[in-house]
Each structure stands twice: as structure tokens, then as C-alpha cells.
Copies of this chain bind each other. A is one copy, B any other.
């Protein structure tokens, strides 16, 4: 893997945010030597009894052993009096590892259950890193005792760092809302940053809240918000075998948020912020791009067009070149398979109307659009003019940096 030495130019300017503690959640990390030297690579999160755990996972048909195990456990509560734990390693994804991959998951979850005195079905494990190599799970199980001794409520930033792979910065986000006069807090961490596409990404996300909610209620919110956040980002159209999002609600605030829209919006804010940070750390990214498609006959078509634009190598290289190349946007609309009419199409770069009615707008001055393209954060807006459905997705540009990172022989 190519050495990543520079932080993404799109990283949040203030560095890692000061995340609030979530009552009922404790973190620990360790340098277990799974693959990397000189850095932490295993994260443990322990969550109090009575919490609800929801999640969303890659739809890949070749998904990894830990993903399958998480999916089987989600929604099960074997013992009300017992909490939950997340055990996450970077460096090895335990994907496409056959029977030994399943055994590694069993070894890790059993050992964590013993160490933390929890049911095995309350232990979720995720792995990210190289595909197809046996996970040296002994390094992880050997570290569990020390990990458990280090658990503390203020170590979420450590956790964010331990799960990084080619990420150039750790990703964190938080938001609060007041419900019935009491503050409810949501805080989360994520890692990116290649193989990012809808149906999730090479992406691990852990979000915690002190809200009180049933597992089913939380799952419904997570699944819904996931569509407009993590499933609406793409770096390179490639989909990981390991993508996992887990959300834990401890209820420690005592505030019941069942079906509460204010809370769902707050959860959505954190999910969208983390999703955007994943794009901002896309491999080789120098531009963060919002693609907004309007006027489609239905939501499916709007999304097809948005993803066709967001995944087009020609659009993405044009963005890298700061070129307001609307011809390539027309091309991407045309190839999407969605219903479109060339002569009703309008395209904006930022607020600059570029094309309308099947041709360059009479008001268009290329210098205006070119000026927009020089920014870090770009908007490409398309009105198909054939309906009223819309979709927004986020992506980044395609640069030499992406090639550098991915064309390097594994080492």
C-alpha cells in the first residue's frame, strides 16, 4: 500500500472535533500489531446494558465473515442485564478468508465475551484492511485483557484513530438536540476512504447516543437516514466487502426518542457529516462535489443520473482539472439509463446556468463557471425538466493521487 503522508486538503480545518462523552459508552485502543507497526489498530467500545444497537451493512454478495456475523446478531438481546461491545481492527478485513475467517470471528467474539462477561451474541466485530489473508486473531484476543483495562468514556478520538487505514485524518462528528427540556447527544466516528460507493463503502462507522429508544425504532431511523447519507456518497463506485455502520443508544439521558423527528434529524446530521468527511478523505481527493439532480420522473431516475455523474471518470477528471466541462455532464446524463430529454436539460455549475434547452445558455460566460470550479467545495446541479423527483449525492474528483495510492503493488 502506498504511503499516505499528506493530510487531505479537504480535511476539516479545525482538526478532530471535541466530541462529548456519551453516558454509558467507554472506549479503549491498543497497538496489537495486526498488520501495521507503530500505531494502534484495535478499538474496543463497551456499551451499557439496556442500550439499543442498530446497524447497516454492505450489500455485497461477497461480504466478509464479520459482516455476516454482525447481521445475524442485530436486533437480538440474549440477556437484558448485559451490555454490548464492538471490537474493531484495522489492517486486515478478514474478507474472502473462507472457513478460517468464520473461525477468527468466533475466536474474537468468544474471547471478548469472556473478558467482558457478556453474551457472545452481544459482541459485534468489524475488520478493515487487506482482503484474502487470514486474520491473525490471536493478536487481537491476546490484547483484550489490556484493552478492557483501558476502557474510558473520553477516548473516542483514540478509537477514531485506531480504525483508520488509508484515511489521512480521523473522522468524528457530534450534534445535540433538546427534547422535553433535556439535551440529547449524538457522537460518532468513521473511517473511509477507497472503495467508497453506495451500498456503503470501505467504511466503518460507529455512532453513540444517550437517547432512549427501542432497537426496532432505532433501526428504522438508521436505515432511513442511511439512504440519504452513507448510501449517497461515492468516491470511485467500488463497494467494499466490509462496510459496517453500528449505532448504539444507551438511554442514559432518560429521554425517550421513539418516533421523535427532532432526534432523527440530529442523528441524520451526524451521519451526513461523517459521510461527507469520508468523501473529503477520498483517495487523492482535492475537490468535494455535491451533485444535485432535479426534475426527474421518479426518485430512482434522479438517483441514477446523480450517481452516473458522480461516478463518471470523465466528469471526475474534469473536476480535478477545474474545468466546467458541461459536455461530460450531458454525456453522464445520457448514459445513465434514466428518462431524459436532451432539449429540456439544464445544467448549473454552482449558481452559473451553463446549459438549457439542449444547448449552451445564452447568458453563459465560461469565466464565471471556471471561477466556481477553483473552489474546494463544488456544486453541479442538473434539472432534467421531465418531472419533479430529485436526488443529491456527494463525490470527489479523480486525480493522480488516486492512481498513486491504488496502482502501487501491495507491500
Footprint of B on A, CB under 8 Å? Answer: 58-63, 95-101, 130-132, 194-195, 197-200, 236-241, 311-314, 317-318, 320-323, 325-328, 330-343, 345, 355, 357-360, 398-400, 402-403, 406-410
Contacts and interface: CB of A to CB of B under 8 A. Distances in A.
A132 B96 contact: no
A335 to B, nearest CB: 4
B200 A323 contact: no
Contact of A132 (B195, B318, B359): B359
B331 A62 contact: yes
Contacts of A237: 237, 311-313
Nearest to A132: B327
Q: How many copies does the complex hold?
A: 2
A195 to B, nearest CB: 6
Question: Looking at chain A's contact residues, is the secondary structure mostly helix, strand, loop, or mixed?
Answer: loop
Contacts of A311: 237
Given A62-B340, A98-B359, A332-B238, A406 B199 contact: no
Given A200-B327, A317-B407, A318-B406, 5 more contacts: A59-B335, A62-B342, A97-B359, A200-B328, A400-B403
A241 B407 contact: no
Given A132-B360, A200-B331, A239-B331, A410 B98 contact: no
Interface centre among A59, A198, A327, A336 (most CB of B within 10 A): A327
15 contacts: A96-B359, A97-B358, A131-B330, A195-B314, A195-B331, A198-B327, A199-B328, A236-B314, A238-B331, A313-B313, A317-B402, A317-B403, A321-B408, A322-B409, A323-B410
Nearest to A238: B314
Contacts of A99: 359
A238 B311 CA distance: 9
A62 B407 contact: no
Nearest to A338: B61
Contact of A320 (B195, B321, B334, B403): B403
A294 B199 CA distance: 24
